[in-house]
Amino acid sequence: MTSDNNIYTSPLSERYPSPEMKYLFSPEMKFRTWRKLWIALAESEKELGLDITQDQIDELKAHADDINYDVAKAREKEVRHDVMSHVYAYGVQCPKAKGIIHLGATSCYVGDNTDIIVMSEALREIRKKLINAIDQLAKFAEEYKALPCLAFTHYQAAQPTTVGKRATLWLNDLVMDLGDLDYVLSTMKLLGSKGTTGTQASFMELFNGDEAKCVELDQKIADKMGFAACYPVSGQTYSRKVDSRVLNVLAGIAQSAHKFSNDIRLLQHMKEVEEPFEKNQIGSSAMAYKRNPMRSERMASLANYVMSDAMNPQLTAATQWFERTLDDSANKRISVSEAFLATDGILELYINISNGLVVYPKVIEAHLMAELPFMATENIMMDAVKAGGDRQELHERIRELSMEAGKAVKEEGKPNDLLDRIAADPTFNISKEALQKVMKPENYIGRSVHQTTEFLNGVIKPILSANADQLGLTADINV
């Protein structure tokens, strides 16, 4: 006895991706597309003069969507061939057209063309979600573009930035991903009808050696399936480098998302910024007070999978023999679909997290002010020089006082008292009140605010304006 609970089900079928992405890689999408391709082939062959009637075409169209899966499944048990099983099942429903289904074609006509169609549709779905992640982050960057925060190099306190300026770094990665995606999508072509080794020999036979009709057949099929063209040359399959290029785009998105998730997790540890945490959400089974960044952690986990999965089509493309070898099939079925499903899940998380980020300005200010005295020392030294001090002497004295204050912070757990030490040192001849005036975070953030505004106006807004019809997606997390 079998049930849903005692057979393996992929988490990528249930937990992470959207229904839209799951449908694109469903049997229904595949087999409906096969039938559309058979109709396109028959129509094109009829238009080019083969003895195919309109009645036959109409019969094929009448049964384009009501696929008799039971017949195909039973036939596949007998013949061990998925394409010929579905040719047979289609013929059972279309007795008048039975003899012209798949005429002149090889299995890759439906298999490979469908893969290109599905990947192209899936890239468009990924693109829509990428645009919406950019939109949410842009709103966040705009809102917090002037909020100073401590910046880090080597995860050590460095010159301040702003919360919004940091968000532009995440945004810029996604913009690069969008450029890569758009380029690869613009190059996607159908395999067309190339025959068993890519020479179109079977179609040369059908068209009595008329090469022009063979060329026109490819273009007609491309037009009917919504593509600009077919690849000009191929073996039996389209080059498996296409799959590698597509998954490299997905791996690029995964890289960007992983970097974002790392930063959010570190910020949540510091209690400066948190991912969304729902009212009834449980952070830990043991520690009830915890607010674990589970969305960001899941994003990183899925991103690791997609980045490693990109190796699969690379190996497949590298090891194909001559015009075709079937050791691509099993790997390709798994690696391509799951890369898309996982990337879809990553972007669902990205939209959800960036739409609900919680910022704690007081904590951010406290962390910044604890380090700002060290960063203000150059300005303090310049003011002391203006008041008649010796630059070299002042530099050495600030170095000594900074070491003393740092030691007190690290070894004794005391607050940073560098300003008190400087005010008490006659070398500087400056009061604590005067020093406090120097301690304005906005004086140390450089062009952060203007850089953020320029980036949002010059780079992000044109993207969002050009894709306004894609905006408005929300993402709910299943578990």
Q: What is the mean pLDDT of residues 39-63?
A: 98
pLDDT of residue 282: 47
The reported pTM is: 0.92
**226: its two tokens:** 């919504």
CATH 1.20.1300.10 is held by the domain 107-363:
no
Q: Which residues pair with 151 in a beta bridge?
A: 158
Q: Which amino acids are annotated catalytic?
A: 154, 284
Q: Give the closest residue to 337 by CA, choosing from 246, 258, 253, 254.
A: 246
SS3 282: coil
CB atoms within 10 A of CB 98: 16
pLDDT of residue 386: 82
pLDDT > 70: what percent of the chain? 96
| Rounded alpha-carbon distances, angstroms, from residue 173 to 133, 335, 378 | 12, 24, 33
Compute the distance between CA of residue 320 and CA of residue 350 in angstroms, rounded to an integer.
36
Bridge-based pairing of strands 148-153 and 156-162 is antiparallel
* 336-363 pLDDT, tens digit each: 999 999 999 999 999 999 999 999 999 9
Is 132:351 a contact under the CB 8 Å cutoff? yes
pLDDT of residue 375: 83
Q: What is the mean pLDDT of residues 5-12?
A: 86
* 410-457 pLDDT, tens digit each: 899 988 888 889 888 888 888 888 888 888 999 999 999 999 999 999
pLDDT of residue 279: 41
pLDDT of residue 33: 98
* 276-325 pLDDT, tens digit each: 875 444 454 444 445 789 999 999 999 999 999 999 999 999 999 999 99
pLDDT of residue 419: 86
Determine the topology of domain 377-438 in CATH: Ribonucleotide Reductase Protein R1; domain 1 (1.10.40)
pLDDT of residue 278: 55
* 57-85 pLDDT, tens digit each: 999 999 999 999 999 999 999 998 999 99
| Rounded alpha-carbon distances, angstroms, from residue 25 to 227, 326, 386 | 20, 20, 70
CB atoms within 10 A of CB 43: 19
Q: What is the mean pLDDT of residues 460-470?
A: 97
DSSP secondary structure string for all residues of 68-133: -HHHHHHHHHHH--HHHHHHHHHHHH-TTTGGGTTTT--HHHHHHHHHHHHHHHHHHHHHHHHHHH
Compute the distance between CA of residue 155 and CA of residue 109 in angstroms, rounded to an integer.
53
Compute the distance between CA of residue 222 and CA of residue 40 in angstroms, rounded to an integer.
9
* 207-263 pLDDT, tens digit each: 999 999 999 999 999 999 999 999 999 999 999 999 999 999 999 999 999 999 999
177-213: b (≥16 Cβ within 10 Å) or e: bbebbeebbeebbbbbbbbbebbbebbbebbeeeeeb
Question: What mean pLDDT, rounded, does the chain reach?
Answer: 93
Report the C-alpha dihedral over residues 455, 458, 463, 464, rounded to 10 degrees: 80
Same fold for the domain at 107-363 and the one at 377-438?
Answer: no
Grade residue 3 by pLDDT with cuts at 50, 70 and 90: low
Compute the distance between CA of residue 364 and CA of residue 368 in angstroms, rounded to an integer.
6
- Count the helices and strands in the chain (H runs, E runs): 21, 4
Residue 7 has pLDDT above 60, yes or no: yes
pLDDT of residue 348: 96
Q: What are phi and psi of 227, to 5 degrees?
A: -115, 155
Amino acid residing at 414:
K
CATH of 18-100, one of 3.30.360.10, 3.30.365.10, 3.40.50.1820, 1.10.275.10: 1.10.275.10
| Rounded alpha-carbon distances, angstroms, from residue 77 to 80, 90, 108, 163, 382 | 6, 16, 20, 60, 85
| Positive or negative torsion for Cα 359, 362, 366, 372 | positive
Q: Where are the domains of the chain?
A: 18-100, 107-363, 377-438
**Range of lowest pLDDT (86-100, 227-241, 286-300, 368-382):** 286-300
